[in-house]
Structures are given as structure tokens and as C-alpha cells.
Chains A and B, each alone.
Chain A
Amino acid sequence: MTPTLRLALVLAAGLLAGATQAQMTDATAIVEAANQASYYAGDDGRSAARMMIVDGNGNRQRRQFTLLRQDVEDGGEQRYLVVFSRPADIRGTVFRVEKHVGERDDRWLYLPALDLVKRIAAGDKRTSFVGSHFYYEDISGRGVSEDRHTLVETTDEAYLIESTPRDPDAVEFARYRTRINRDTLLPMRTEYERADGEVYRRMEVTEVETIDGYPTGTETRMTDLDSGGYTVTQFRYSEYDIGIPADIFSERSLRNPPRDWLRRD
């Protein structure tokens, strides 16, 4: 089916149903659209972020950082700069990522006390991001083609997608189910299951705001159901399409963070 024909059919279906939004029927297309909405809003963006990490015993930790992002191409390569301001022992640490699709990311870490630019071997993306319950992959997105996607159910509000890994040995889950809002195309809840169907990990978007025309998940919670621990991430002062120059994503910004671009307007 050509895209035009598909669009025409979708539009026709929508008109016939009298619905205000188009209904998508192709699972992979829905996941691609959700990926786009979650990780590729605008051509670039800036956001202040903070995390509260609560372990199973109720001990709390904090992380606070400002995140700059630039898309090289929609749905494809991206550049990230993450500048930490909290806690005291990682203040001034800067993390730079060149995200590639289909190959390993390039990552650098700047440690200010040693003035050291460390290059990090791109390892498992499903390991903790700065000690939180979020994985690197939760922050920067999981490749759509890494899983097989099935549309399980379509309700008035949401698409329910089930995804199974193409390479089961590379990940800790057997499958995950994602509830994607039909209006915003944001994944509002993702539950990761073991082979026996037990859900052990859950991501929920608990707050959404439309910023510069882009629906944005401004509060997200990741829960480890085994331990009871969780992390809440909040995004504030988000802005899109601010025109960050490509050379901001460089070694210069590791040693001397680009205040003009980090500053909130």
C-alpha cells in the first residue's frame, strides 16, 4: 500500500467513524510514531530534569541535570549533552552522546575534578542511567526495529502494543506491552514481562503538557516491581526548536558548558 493510499484510507476511516483523530492499524507505524513523539519532538530541545531515586527501603537520592538534544535526522541520529548540577559529588560532570541507529553510540564523560575527558565503551544500553531505575535506553529511546510489534487492542484512547525482542538474549525481558495515547502518540505506560508473563518493571507517564506545540511527558515514573524501588523524573522549562548549533555538541562543551544554551529563557 502506498503511503498516500494508506493515508487516504485512514482519513476515510476517520471521517466515516466521525472520529477526531486518525486510527492507525499498523503496529510498527504506531511504534515509530510514538518513538518520534517521545524522543524527536522538534529539531532540537532543552530541558531541565531531576530525578528522585527511591530504593526498596525508602532511601532517597537525587539527580539534577540539564539536557540539550539535537536531531540529525528524524527517527535517526541524535546528539545529546547532559550537564549535572546535583548531587554534590557529580556536580559539573558532563555526559555527551552521539546516538546512532543500528550501531553503537559514541559516549564521552567529563570528570571536572581531574579535568578528564573519558571515552566510554558503548556497552549494554539496558543498565542504569546515573544510578536511577531508568536505563540509558529509556532516556534516549530503543530502536524500533529491535523488537517485533503487534497491535493487541485499540480503544477510544489508546493503542495497546505488544513487543517481543528479535534478539531475546540481548535483553532481560521476554516482552513488553505499551499503551500509546491516540491523541498525543505518547507511550503512557509500558510494562516489561518475564517469560512467565509476570510484570517486573513498569514505566508510567504521570504528567503531560503541550510545549511549543509538542505534547511532552513532564513526569515519568519507573518502578522496579521486584524491589519496590522507583525513580520519578520530572522535566521542567522544556523548549523546542531553539536552534542549538551542532558544534555545541563537542569536547569544548564538556570542559566549558555552553551557558548561553543551558540558560532558561
Chain B
Amino acid sequence: MRHSAERIRTRLLLGIALACLLPGSGSAQNDDAGWDDEGWGDDPWAEDQTGWQWYGFIEGAVAPRLQSDPATDEDFTLAETRLQLEGERQLGDYTATVKGDVWLDGVEDGGRGDLREANLAGRLTASTDVVVGRQIITWGTGDLVFLNDLFPKDYAAFFSGRSDEYLKAPTDALKLSWFGPLNVDVVWMPRAVPNRFITGERLSYFSPRAGRRVAAPPRLDPRDRDSPGDDSELALRVYQTLDGVELAGYAYHGFDNQPSAQDADGRAYFPRLSSLGASVRAPVAGGIANLETAYYHGEDDRGDDPDRPNDQWRWLAGYENEPVSDLTIGWQYSLEWMQDHDALLDALSPEQRRYAPDQYRHLLTNRLTWQGPRQDLTLSMFTFYSPSDADYYLRPRARYRFSDRLSGTLGANLFGGEDDWTFHTQLEDNSNAYLRLRYSF
């Protein structure tokens, strides 16, 4: 088993080398050829396009763990060669988009695939846009901190060393947007789409039940929420910009994206979740300030059932500016305030009480980004630090664009803290450094 995993890794490294050496053939875009009067046809709206336009990339990525993980004998959180293809086609006023990934996975040992987008988007009326099908949806003002954005995330990808874009997981939805004195987005998801949460397969996590960090097997396997209609979710955003100040209100009625509850048989499931929230974002003193809040109404609104999540009030405040040319600094403070904390503690057994979340979880984040004068080199550092959990998560990264086609990213995901069971510390043994090389076409 170990032997075949080694073979796969060898292949992956070959894949990375191949990605670097690929010639510019079979591609609609050449780096410097086409600097004549032919090349102007590339804009999708240049003329009426017929047929599919194809784009994509090949990426090789490896992320060795920086320490051994007693919960698993897997030394890598990521080892893969990936192909993404994206097709786009104009159909009258509508655009059809298909985007899919296939990859050879050296951690899960085998071929994998993921359909990330398959949708039809366009103008329904002069003041209404529609997107129907599989899509990525994002809203809210946080930077890697989400309050009112309850669309699915892929934390396994984010923590294991994949590119940032994989943090957002696709959802099957109908999105209607109406533009008027107030702009309104309504998103209906016929079946609940949960996060791609940590199951133990790629990353280990802390199990309060086991009282230690665990990894698959067995894989965390919650009850599905996939019956169309019964398990549908609805998300709403109302927003407008007034004199540079962006105001928004949000509502959500669906399910928690994390399997945060347990039924009587001890099986995890996705409990009901409704939320209401608001945000404001505006320029302040040369930078951008944002404030966002969300009230989460969980299944247990009295707090005395430890197997189901309690209500929470969340807050986020942020500020970003560019104090020196090409250097951007962003700060965020977020608060998760559990509403019936005393009741939760009373309901827990003494041995489980130590694992209970705090009444107030404080989280500070900092993002530093520096771009070289030609923007070829980007250095960044994103820090999560929770004074209440006494844990941290660091994301240092260097990205270099060798050309319009080839870019390389070197970075790390570093977790640590005091207590094994807090959000970031539980991932400690998954700390990894990664290298990705991407060839775009």
C-alpha cells in the first residue's frame, strides 16, 4: 500500500515537471504570437461567438506534512496532478458555463473528479439576472471569515494546500437577482449542500467523543441532507451602495453546513439553521472599513442540549489600507457569542465540559500582501489568532508568475495552540508546506 503510494507520488512529480515543459500548443492564447490584427477576436463579446470556447490549466501540487501525524501514516496532505477545463458558450442573451476538474490523487490514491460549475446565466428582464445550475456563490464583507455567506466551503482543500479558489465549494442553485432602488438576490438550493468538512481522510481532527485527534478510517459520515424539497435552503441578500457606502441585509433559512449535531444514535447530522444579518462597507481614512453581524438561530435555542448547536450572535469588524506603495495590510476582529452558554455547561458531563466552546470566541486576523513593481511576485501572510482559544493558523505564501501561462506558489499552512481540541490546534499535526505549479491555457 505504502509502496503504491510512493509510485503515485513519483508520477505526480513527473506530472509537475510535465506541466512546466508543456509547449504552448493546442491553445487559443499565445503569449506573444497574435500581436497583430488577428488577436483582437479573443474578447468573448468581440463578435457573435458560436460554439464552445475552452480554457483551463494543469496543476501539479505537493504538500508534505511538516511533522508526523500519530493519527495517520499519511505523510502528505496534498499530492496531485490536476486538469481543469472550462467551457463557455453564448446562447443568445445567455451564457452556458461548464467547469470541471479531474485529478490523480496521491493522498486518496486514485483518480478523482469534481464538477465545479454547470450553469446558464443571463438577463431575464432588463432589471433581472438569473443563474441556474451548479455555481459558486459568495457574498458578505469578511476576508476568509464568513458570517452571512452560508454557501458551502471546502475547508479540507483550504487547509491542505490547494489554491484559494477551492475554498468555495459549488452549490446547485437557482439565483435570481433584481436590480432597482434596492438590489435583491434570492438563492434557492433545492437540496442542502454542506461544507466539504474534515472527515479524517486527508486531515485529522479532534473528536470530543474519543477525547483525542482522530483520522479515517472510520471516516466521519453524517446523515445526508439530500432529499429535494424537504432539505431545501433559501438565502437572501438585499443591498445598495449610497455615496460609496455599501449597505446590505441578509437572511438564510436552511441547514448548518457543518455536521454540528448528533442524533439519539450518536450519528452526526446537519441541524437546521436560520440567520439574519447586516453589513456595511465604506472607505475610511484612505482605507476600507467593514462591519458585519449575523444572528444564528440553531436547533437548540435554550442551550441545554449539548448534541445540538446553540444560538450565536456573530460580529466582524475589519479595516484594510495600503500604508506604503504595493503593501496592503488588513485587520479583522470577529466575535462568536454563544447565547446560552451556562445552560450548555450545565448539560455537559464533567469530562466533556473541558471541550465546550467558550461563551465568547474572539478571533483576530491579519493579512499582509506585498506585490513587486511588475506584480510578478506576490508575498503574503495571513494570520488567524484566537486569544480565547489560544490557538493560531498562519498562511505564509509566495507566488511568482513566470509568464502569462506558468505560475508557481510556495506556501504553508501552520496550525498550533494550547489545547488539543480548539478549532485550529486540533489541526496541528496537519501543518504542511506546499508547492504548486500551474500552467494555464
Give every chain A residue within 8 A of B135 (Cβ-Cβ). 115
A130 at interface by CB-CB < 8 Å: yes
For the complex, what is the distance from the CA of A113 to the CA of B157, rounded to whole Å?
Answer: 15
B244 touches A48 (CB 8 A): no
Give every chain B residue within 8 A of A131 (Cβ-Cβ). 374-376, 401
B405 at interface by CB-CB < 8 Å: yes
Closest residue to B402 on the A side, CB-wise? A59
B375 touches A128 (CB 8 A): yes
B373 touches A128 (CB 8 A): yes
**B40-48, B301-309, B336-344: which one contacts chain A?**
B40-48
Give every chain B residue within 8 A of A55 (Cβ-Cβ). 374
B136 at interface by CB-CB < 8 Å: yes
B42 touches A64 (CB 8 A): yes
B383 at interface by CB-CB < 8 Å: no
Choose from A52, A130, A252 the contact partner of B179 (Cβ within 8 Å). A252
B287 at interface by CB-CB < 8 Å: yes
The count of chain A contact residues (Cβ–Cβ below 8 Å) is: 50
Closest residue to A262 on the B side, CB-wise? B45
Q: Mark B388-415, 1 if CB is under 8 A from A, else 0.
A: 0000000000000101110100000000
Question: Shortest Cβ distance from B370 into chain A, in angstroms?
Answer: 11
Give every chain B residue within 8 A of A122 (Cβ-Cβ). 283, 286
Give every chain A residue within 8 A of B32 (Cβ-Cβ). 52, 60, 62
Closest residue to B39 on the A side, CB-wise? A50
A87 touches B405 (CB 8 A): yes
A16 at interface by CB-CB < 8 Å: no
Q: Which of A147-206 contact B (CB under 8 A)?
A: none
A121 touches B288 (CB 8 A): yes
B349 at interface by CB-CB < 8 Å: no
> Which residues of B are interface residues toward A (Cβ below 8 A)?
29, 31-32, 35, 39-40, 42-47, 55-57, 93, 121-123, 129, 135-139, 164-165, 167-168, 177, 179, 183, 239, 241, 244, 246, 281, 283, 286-288, 320-322, 325-326, 328, 371, 373-376, 401, 403-405, 407, 438, 440-441
Enumerate the 8 nearest inter-chain pairs by beta-carbon distance, A residue then B residue, closest first.
Answer: A123-B322, A87-B404, A88-B440, A113-B165, A131-B375, A124-B325, A60-B32, A262-B45
- Beyond A89-B438, A106-B283, A116-B138, 10 extra complex contacts between A and B, CB < 8 Å: A61-B403, A61-B404, A114-B164, A121-B287, A121-B328, A126-B325, A131-B375, A131-B401, A251-B239, A252-B177
Q: Could you name 15 residue pairs across A and B whose Cβ atoms are closer than 8 Å? A: A52-B35, A62-B404, A64-B43, A85-B43, A86-B42, A87-B440, A88-B57, A89-B57, A89-B407, A98-B244, A106-B244, A115-B168, A252-B179, A256-B121, A256-B129
